[in-house]
Amino acid sequence: MVFLVLGVFLVSVAIQARQIRLDIYDQQARFFIYEAEEVVTIFNSRQSTDDTSFKDRLAVLSNFLNADILVIDANGNKLYEGNTCEIQSTLFDQSDFQKKVLGGSNVVFAGKVNGFNQDVFLAAVPMVKDGKTTGAVVICSPLTSISQHINSMLLITLSGALLGIALATVISVFISRKLVRPLVKMEENVQHIAAGEFGREIHVESEDEVGRLASSFNSMSKQLGQKIQAIGQLSKQRQELLSDVSHELRTPLTVIKGYSEAILDGLVHSEEQQKLYLQNISDESARLKRLVDDWLELQTMDTDKAFVNMEYVVLNKLVSVSVERLKPLAADKGINIDILVPENTITVWGHIDRLKQVLTNLLDNALNHSGGKVIVELGVKDAQAYIAIKDDGPGIPPEELDNIWERFYKVDKSRSRRGTGTGLGLSIVKQIVEKHGGKVSADSRLGLGSIFTVYLPLAE
């Protein structure tokens, strides 16, 4: 902190010193230019080049200004010269100087000039008569006198700054104990908030400015925590909805494409089978439309409203229909699907389309990882209906079983026959099953396949 204050102080002094120097130079330049213009007026109104009164007036002005006056014609010849700065006519030989002055511009310079023994400050103005530049008037003064004035001003500024710092330091000693403690607490809490711990508060010990600041901080922290949480939940819901719908659109499109290609390729020989295929295409098209409609409707709704249309669902029929719809895809992959459904009816209370999504996603996952056989089993266990989908694929490593339900999580693509999944299917399954009050589990052994089991409460 001390070094920071010292650094700020030095930077401030440097800026002020530069500004003081510029202001004094600017003031001196304007003064010299004004007096040089007066010399031009006097020179143009003189009677002759040997006018004694003209030279006397310039001598008086030179003493008054404590500066040297040089009058030069357009060829660089001296028309008048004092001796304060020992100005030589060679100054006019410098191309930049000559070009600017004869071009009608004023010239101001501070520093070294060729042929001079000391630093000078000079101002030059062109002499214009009858619209023509006939020469120049230069007023020159040693830079020493101006530098002394600048140094005195800097000394005053520095002294004032040091005095101000000293007074501020003395005052801060008396109030630091009262201010530092709550401010340090604020700093600690700000760091915790930056790390994601929103809603932290500070104990308010006073009602002064610091106490009110602490109260405002507590209010801000609480509101920030609430808003961050609300924004996070809303963002999560929107992202989940977008991800889920995008994934769900793929399966009905795949089914429609599969049945359509089967019909177009002439693989359907009987009229009854063709009607079945067309009916499946129609059903999936309707489902696809419902998904799109749901997406448009749920833009402004809570995702829980997607489960309002609940009804009694006979799992025996649902499982059989879902398997039949995917059998053509399984046949294309050379995979055989066996189904084990009991004769007694198993009924649950649920959303038929969402439960169909569960079965479709799990079956699609099994087909993608199967080595050639998939078994779907429906039954009742511990007063719950269960649907188990088994495959004989390469299996899932034990360390990855807990992660497969996370969104966008993918097991190594080398264990997938297609490797094109989005990593959302199992997450969608878990969400839908939990919305129905059930649960889903996975069991797998490397080289022996995997079993995904959905448990749902039986309907009363």
The confidence score (pLDDT) of residue 416 equals 40
The confidence score (pLDDT) of residue 421 equals 43
Could you give the CA distance from residue 256 to residue 287 in angstroms, rounded to a whole number?
Answer: 11
Could you give the CA distance from residue 135 to residue 125 in angstroms, rounded to a whole number?
Answer: 9
Q: How confident is the model at residue 407 (pLDDT cuts 50, 70, 90)?
A: low
The confidence score (pLDDT) of residue 361 equals 86
Q: What is the mean pLDDT of residues 259-287?
A: 85
Q: How confident is the model at residue 316 (pLDDT cuts 50, 70, 90)?
A: very high
The confidence score (pLDDT) of residue 388 equals 96
The confidence score (pLDDT) of residue 167 equals 78
Q: What is the mean pLDDT of residues 256-283?
A: 85
The confidence score (pLDDT) of residue 151 equals 73
In the chain, what percentage of residues exceed pLDDT 90?
18
pLDDT of 250 strictly over 50:
yes
Question: Do 357 and 350 meet the contact criterion of CB atoms below 8 Å apart?
Answer: no
Could you give the CA distance from residue 327 to residue 307 in angstroms, rounded to a whole number?
Answer: 28
Q: Which tokens belong to 126?
A: 């062109």
Q: How confident is the model at residue 335 (pLDDT cuts 50, 70, 90)?
A: very high
Q: Of 136-140, 204-208, 222-226, 422-426, where does mean pLDDT reach its minimum? A: 422-426
The confidence score (pLDDT) of residue 411 equals 64
pTM over 0.85: no
Q: What is the mean pLDDT of residues 313-330?
A: 94
- Where in the chain are the domains? 2-148, 224-306, 309-460
Question: Do 69 and 58 meet the contact criterion of CB atoms below 8 Å apart?
Answer: yes
Q: Pick the closest to residue 110 from 157, 78, 144 (CA basis).
A: 144
pLDDT digits (tens, 9 = 90+) for 224-249: 777 777 776 767 766 766 665 666 67
Q: How confident is the model at residue 114 (pLDDT cuts 50, 70, 90)?
A: low
The confidence score (pLDDT) of residue 417 equals 37
The confidence score (pLDDT) of residue 237 equals 62
pLDDT of 72 strictly over 90:
no
The confidence score (pLDDT) of residue 458 equals 95
More confident residue, 276 or 24: 276
The confidence score (pLDDT) of residue 414 equals 41
Q: Which tokens belong to 157?
A: 């500024």
Q: What is the mean pLDDT of residues 111-116?
A: 66
Could you give the CA distance from residue 330 to residue 333 in angstroms, rounded to a whole number?
Answer: 5
Q: Which tokens belong to 30?
A: 């304007």
Q: For 2-148, CATH number? A: 3.30.450.20
pLDDT of 301 strictly over 50:
no
Three-class HEC string of 407-448? CCCCCCHHHCCCCCCCCCHHHHHHHHHHHCCCEEEEEEECCC
Q: Of 55-59, 96-100, 244-248, 439-443, where does mean pLDDT reach its minimum? A: 244-248
pLDDT of 350 strictly over 70:
yes
Which one is the CATH code of 309-460: 3.30.70.20, 3.30.565.10, 3.10.180.10, 3.40.50.2300? Answer: 3.30.565.10
Question: Do 226 and 194 meet the contact criterion of CB atoms below 8 Å apart?
Answer: no
Three-class HEC string of the chain? CHHHHHHHHHHHHHHHHHHHHHHHHHHHHHHHHHHHHHHHHHHHCCCCCCCHHHHHHHHHHHHHHCCEEEEEECCCCEEEECCCCCCCHHHHHCHHHHHHHHCCCCEEEEECCCCCCCCEEEEEEEEEECCEEEEEEEEEEEHHHHHHHHHHHHHHHHHHHHHHHHHHHHHHHHHHHHHHHHHHHHHHHHHHHHCCCCCCCCCCCCCCHHHHHHHHHHHHHHHHHHHHHHHHHHHHHHHHHHHHHHHHHHHHHHHHHHHHHHHHCCCCCCHHHHHHHHHHHHHHHHHHHHHHHHHHHHHHCCHHHHHCCCEEEEHHHHHHHHHHHHHHHHHHCCCEEEEECCCCCCEEEECHHHHHHHHHHHHHHHHHHCCCEEEEEEEEECCEEEEEEEECCCCCCHHHCCCCCCCCCCCCHHHCCCCCCCCCHHHHHHHHHHHCCCEEEEEEECCCEEEEEEEEEECC
Q: Which tokens belong to 139?
A: 């007023």
The confidence score (pLDDT) of residue 302 equals 47
Task: Tell me what the pLDDT averaged over the chain comes to.
Answer: 77
Q: For 224-306, CATH number? A: 1.10.287.130
The confidence score (pLDDT) of residue 37 equals 82
pLDDT of 408 strictly over 70:
no
**Fold agreement between 2-148 and 224-306:** no
Identify the burial level of 237 via C-beta atoms within 10 angstroms of its C-beta, where 0-12 means exposed, 13-18 middle and 19 or more buried.
middle
Q: How confident is the model at residue 438 (pLDDT cuts 50, 70, 90)?
A: very high
pLDDT of 105 strictly over 80:
yes
